[in-house]
Amino acid sequence: MNEVSQIGVTQEEDGVRLDRWFKRRFPMLTHGRLEKLLRTGQVRVDGARAKANVRLEAGQVVRVPPLGEEAAKPAPKPERNVSDKDAEFVRSLVIHKDKSVLVLNKPAGLAVQGGTKTERHLDGMLDALAFEGERPRLVHRLDRDTSGVLVLARTARAAASLARAFKQKDARKIYWALVVGVPVPRQGTIDLALTKQGGPRAERVFAAEKGDENARDAATHFSTVAMAAHTLAWVAFMPLTGRTHQIRAHAAAISTPIVGDGKYGGVNAHPGGEIPRKLHLHARSIDIAHPDGGRLFIEADLPPHMKASWKLLGFDLRDAEDAFAGLEE
């Protein structure tokens, strides 16, 4: 690209940040060079100077100055080979599909993204969910051992809309857990800042001490749905913030660790008997603003090991209706 171009923002790009728009259109353009182009006014939106974080609107026109052949090159497409078995598996997880959104019921034990020693993960299977459109995008996360509702965006516009909803806390997420002990009181809010610590267990968070500069506010509503002999309890959690391992750390902080969560509950998290040792934490539902208007409400069935525990303890799913009614009022 050796001349000035005027490029219109498409409907699918509505709501995307300007720097991310450039990253998608011109992935070989470095961030530093883009910042210089913005700073010197060579990049403009509808004729006006713009900053990297401005969100574009469909129909706007972006002035793109000459970038040179190298910067204008499209990014090489990564090779993603999804086996027939994995493609069939990931498609079986879909519990909702429309033109903008996919929702999966993620199984426990499947990582959302890859990492050290994690070769099989959901992100590596997303090509199988492209169907007739784009490769879907992750807009939030679940821990590897947490099951349940996971929302994917099918377009860039939908991804930007969903990201805004999460950022503006316009998403009501409810998790179900089996905990050791019974919360006192039975319903309330855990308001406890969390911090990460270094070392080999860096992915673990702790209650922050006063004055900790790395502390991040964290708050979680909780409501006890049912009890089993005052030794185990079915608790519904509603996180008001989205910190790493927030529910797990908060549950342990009120002396009711989640069953199977040895990382935060130690040996106390394994009650024994016929209760499986797997983590009993499930993202049961989400209520979020839909990119195309209105609301999206989805519930996900319990994973097999939690179904077995619910059956063993005689819990009735209907008991969880309006678990937070009194608290939210």
Residue type, 94: V
Residue 247 backbone phi and psi in degrees, to 5 = -65, -40
Kind plus residue range of the DSSP H or E element containing 310: helix 304-313
Determine contact, residues 245/237, Cβ cutoff 8 Å: no
Angle subtended by helix axes 18-25 and 31-39, to nearest 10: 130
Q: How far apart are CA 149 and CA 137, in angstroms?
A: 15
Residue type, 146: T
Q: How far apart are CA 55 and CA 46, in angstroms?
A: 13
Tracing tokens 């342990």 back to the chain, one arrives at: 252
Determine contact, residues 214/299, Cβ cutoff 8 Å: no
Catalytic residues: 143
Contacts for 125 with CB less than 8 Å, ≥ 6 apart: 82, 86, 87, 89, 90
Nearest Cα to 223, choosing from 272, 276, 249, 185? 185
Q: How far apart are CA 320 and CA 174, in angstroms?
A: 11
Nearest Cα to 105, choosing from 319, 296, 321, 286? 286
Radius of gyration of the chain (CA): 23
